[in-house]
Structure 1
Amino acid sequence: MRLFFMTLAFAGAAAAQPAEFRSVQAKAVHWQPIPNGQGAQSALIAGNPSQPGTYVIRVKFPPHVMDRPHHHSRDRHVTVLQGRWVAGTGPDFAPDKAQVLTAGSYMFHPAGGVHWDGSNSDETVIVQIIGEGPVTSADVDPALASWVKLPG
């Protein structure tokens, strides 16, 4: 009887598999400038953050470029792909007190959690973000520019 239920569980899991596999080669990643992003860029890898379902995006931070405190309407999972990414939490923007995460590191951003992040060094940083759409973002202080270039 136990084997029967295990077989049903595996059959259900197999039925839930995607209809086709997809891959994106690194050279095919299409980077686009983020408006007023001080040179930051983003790339849509899969899905669409404005639509229901899972999405994958990448953000490229040039040296000494960070975003100011903001939050998102849904959880996000961030993995550092390249460089030394720095991230802080809370409404006070303090790049010198940010947590340093190197390539391969991961950070969870809970829905509504105020944070800020980017590169506070001489290197370019790339992070990959996975979440469920639709998602929205809001700056803590809309009177300030969303992106800032730190002194280098």
Structure 2
Amino acid sequence: MLHTIRKPHAPVLAILLGLSSAVTGAAELDPKAISIKLPEQINWVANPSGSETAVLVGDPAKPGLYVVLNKWKAHHNSKPHSHPNDRFITVISGTWWVGTGSDYNPDDLKPVPAGSFVTHYGNEIHYDGAKDEDTILQIVGIGPATSVPAPAK
């Protein structure tokens, strides 16, 4: 016996059939064209400074382009230092706190909210970190990304 679908249910059935064919018929992405790392696939490494780093592209210890994520844990800061090359930083989440000069004074840190873009100029002294919340930065630069402590006064 052949059943007919009543008209009120026909649009729902058509949508469901369309969704199921869209899910099963999706083409695989070509790994030569695109690479995706989901958050759980990003490898974070703890640093003695109270931050964590995840290298996304390149190797910051070697010459060439690198892209890293840096997670400052709450209540951790760097001491005054510089880097030999410019670094380009986007605040992904949280509030990043920054200061300049060789006199370390956490009370002088200025807030940089999520969504902001900052340039750290090569060989210029700065310090930074997080206050009451974890902060994630994306840092792009040319390696090697050494950190040089500011001269003691």
Both structures adopt the same fold (TM-score exceeding 0.5): yes
AA paired with 2:147?
S
CA RMSD of aligned residues (A): 1.6
Matching residue within 125, 130, 146 for 1:136: 146
Instruction: Identify unmatched segments of 5+ residues in structure 1.
Output: 1-18, 143-152
In 2, Cα distance between equivalents of 1:56 and 1:72: 15
Residue type at the aligned position of 1:135: A
Report which of the two has the higher share of strand: 1
1:28-67 equivalence runs, <5 A: 28-34=41-47, 36-37=48-49, 39-67=50-78
Q: Deviations over 1:81-136 (max 9, x none)?
A: 1101100111111222112111111110011010000012x211111100011232
What residue in structure 2 maps to residue 85 of structure 1?
96
CA distance in 2, matches of 1:29, 1:135: 20
Count residues in correspondence: 121
User: Could you say if the C-alpha distance between residues 47 and 20 of structure 1 is closer, same or farther in structure 2, counting changes exceeding 3 Å?
Assistant: farther
Identity rate, percent: 36
2:129 alignment counterpart: 118
Match of 2:112, SS state, is strand
Instruction: Give the TM-score normalised by the residue count of structure 1.
Output: 0.73
Shift of 1:25: 1.9
Letter in 2 for 1:139: P
**TM-score, with structure 2 as normaliser:** 0.73
- Flag structure 2 segments of 5+ consecutive residues without an equivalent: 1-31
Match of 1:127 among 137, 140, 144: 137
SS at match of 2:78: strand
Pick one of 12, 16, 21 that aligns with 2:34: 21
Q: CA deviation at 1:42?
A: 0.9
In the TM superposition, what whole-angstrom CA distance separates every residue of 1:1-49 from its partner, at most 9, and x where no partner exists? xxxxxxxxxxxxxxxxxx7433322221111111x22x32111111111
Q: Which amino acid is the alignment partner of residue 32 of structure 1?
A: V
| Higher mean C-alpha displacement, 48-57 vs 21-30 | 21-30
